[in-house]
């Protein structure tokens, strides 16, 4: 029994020593591998100097000598090979890169994303993009790597740099067939190349595809397209900046992506380059603002549009009206739309909106009534204007100076002179206050009707009412008094005016 116990202790000691030796060897190899990797990385990123003119080249040579000497790396081997492949790329040694990749594949290892990217970069930098494409296909089919969008972007960009636009576009479609989602870099690379090739129709289609894929265009996209259109225009020697079509297309693209700040940046840039927004531009901007619930911004652009004399189309009004219903806006918003219709001589649409407003329970203010009255008279719808005026009286709507001026001016301009005078006299008798514009209109009406005594009485009453005759008032009086031969009265008016 003592002998057996002694033998067991000896075996245990021998086993422990062996295990300790094995662990120590693996630890030493791991330390050596770590040190090797650190040295290779340092050489890869070393700047040229008198002691080391070419770090990447030296790193490759060192690794090669160690491989020939029989050194075998353990767990970090894939990382070491990755460093060496990066060194080959930096040293522009594409063939050696392929050799190292082949070694890895023979060992049954898969290429990581970074390693694959370095391989493709090396091939593309050597103008061997076709070979990079074949590597992508081979690795995808063989399952030795999983190319992602970054890998495809490298190969696509390589084809473009070699001037192989068709091959680059073909690889882009292969990428989509592999169900690999493109990113902004992919699309910008293709758009940029197509723009440089002056294939703007294709660039536009790619841009539309980009938006449909849910990829947001960025400043790079915008700059590529602007450069492409500018280049195309200069080639024609027109000497002009991109036209409405270019800017409208860009604004529409950004607006569809919900990037209204970027869209408005282009809108402002458009004006700075001397291209005035047209109905398509405003329609795009207004409809986008309405879709985003930014009704105040939409109304601002609508007002700007009408002030500049750009006639809104049906789409603009439909968007604004729909947004108004959704936002439950007030009479102020409706007034903006009614005014826009009237300015563009669409009085029927204005009246339809007015009736819809009433049905919705929004009470019109005096501004809306004044706009409609003016629109009706301008459209020579005299009966309708009179009817609305009488309805206003029956509804006891408080009228202002603008209302009375609009009615009197509308009647006068539509040859209802006697009716205008009669209405004025009734209002005057009830001490309704008129502005100078309304009084000048009535002086014209009375002069046209040959009611000279009433003209003189009205002129005399102006000062009595605390009003100040304008230059136009005196001009009307002088011209007609001279025409009728009342020279003495002209002299009296001149004396009065001189004293004032």
Domain ranges of the chain: 277-329, 333-399, 408-500
Q: What is the CA radius of gyration of the chain?
A: 42
CA–CA separation, 499 and 372 (whole Å): 43
Q: Categorize the per-residue pLDDT at 234 as very low, low, confident or very high, splitting at 50, 70 and 90.
A: very low
pLDDT for 5: 45
37 and 76 Cβ atoms separated by less than 8 Å:
yes
Tokens of 407: 């009615």
217 and 192 Cβ atoms separated by less than 8 Å:
no
Percent of the chain with pLDDT strictly greater than 90: 9
pLDDT for 484: 62
Q: Where are the beta strands (DSSP E) in 90-167?
A: none
At 362, phi and psi to the nearest 5?
-90, 120
CA–CA separation, 10 and 97 (whole Å): 52
Greater pLDDT, 486 or 370:
370
- Judged against a pLDDT cut of 60, whether residue 438 lies above it is answered with yes
The mean pLDDT of the chain is: 75
Greater pLDDT, 99 or 144:
99
* pTM of the shown model: 0.47
Distances (CA, A) of 462 to 177, 470, 474: 84, 11, 12
Q: What is the largest CA-CA distance in the chain?
A: 159
CA–CA separation, 398 and 394 (whole Å): 11
Summarize pLDDT for 50-80 with one digit per residue, the tens: 555 555 565 555 555 555 444 544 334 666 6
- Judged against a pLDDT cut of 80, whether residue 492 lies above it is answered with no
């Amino acid at each position: 029994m003592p002998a057996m116990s002694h033998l067991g202790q000896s075996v245990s000691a021998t086993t422990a020593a062996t295990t300790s030796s094995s662990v120590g060897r693996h630890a030493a190899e791991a330390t050596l591998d770590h040190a090797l990797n650190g040295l290779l990385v340092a050489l890869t990123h070393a700047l040229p100097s008198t002691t080391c003119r070419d770090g990447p080249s030296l790193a490759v040579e060192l690794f090669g000598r160690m491989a020939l000497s029989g050194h075998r790396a353990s767990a970090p081997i894939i990382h070491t090979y990755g460093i060496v492949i990066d060194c080959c790329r930096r040293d522009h040694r594409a063939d050696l890169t392929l050799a190292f990749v082949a070694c890895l594949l023979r060992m049954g290892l898969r290429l990581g994303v970074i390693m694959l990217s370095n391989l493709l970069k090396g091939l593309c930098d050597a103008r061997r993009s076709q070979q990079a494409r074949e590597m992508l296909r081979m690795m995808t089919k063989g399952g030795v790597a999983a190319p992602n969008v970054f890998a495809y972007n490298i190969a696509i960009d390589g084809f473009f740099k070699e001037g192989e636009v068709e091959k680059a576009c073909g690889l882009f479609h292969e990428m989509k067939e592999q169900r690999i989602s493109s990113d902004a870099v992919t699309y910008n690379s293709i758009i940029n190349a197509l723009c440089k090739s002056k294939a703007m129709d294709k660039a536009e289609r790619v841009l539309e595809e980009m938006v449909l894929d849910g990829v947001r265009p960025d400043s790079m996209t915008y700059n590529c397209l602007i450069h492409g259109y500018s280049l195309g225009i200069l080639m024609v020697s027109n000497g002009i900046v991109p036209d409405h079509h270019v800017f409208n297309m860009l604004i529409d693209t950004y607006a569809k992506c919900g990037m209204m700040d970027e869209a408005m940046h282009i809108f402002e840039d458009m004006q700075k380059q001397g291209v005035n927004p047209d109905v398509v531009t405003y329609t795009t901007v207004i409809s986008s603002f309405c879709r985003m619930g930014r009704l105040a911004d939409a109304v601002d652009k609508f007002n700007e549009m009408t002030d500049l004399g750009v006639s809104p189309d049906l789409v603009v009004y439909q968007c604004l009206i729909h947004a108004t219903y959704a936002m439950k806006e007030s009479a102020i918003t409706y007034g903006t739309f009614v005014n826009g219709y009237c300015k563009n001589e669409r009085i029927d649409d204005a009246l339809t909106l007015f009736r819809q407003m009433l049905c919705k329970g929004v009470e019109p203010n005096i501004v809306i009534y004044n706009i409609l009255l003016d629109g009706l008279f301008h459209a020579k719808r005299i009966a309708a204007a009179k009817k609305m005026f009488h309805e206003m009286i029956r509804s006891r709507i408080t009228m202002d100076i603008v209302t009375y001026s609009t009615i009197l001016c509308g009647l006068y301009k539509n040859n209802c002179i006697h009716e205008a005078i009669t209405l004025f006299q009734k209002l005057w008798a009830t001490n309704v206050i008129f502005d100078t514009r309304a009084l000048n209109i009535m002086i014209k009406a009375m002069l046209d009707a040959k009611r000279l005594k009433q003209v003189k009485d009205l002129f005399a009453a102006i000062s009595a009412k605390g009003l100040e005759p304008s230059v136009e008032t005196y001009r009307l009086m002088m011209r007609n008094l001279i025409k009728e031969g009342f020279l003495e009265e002209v002299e009296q008016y001149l004396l009065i005016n001189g004293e004032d």
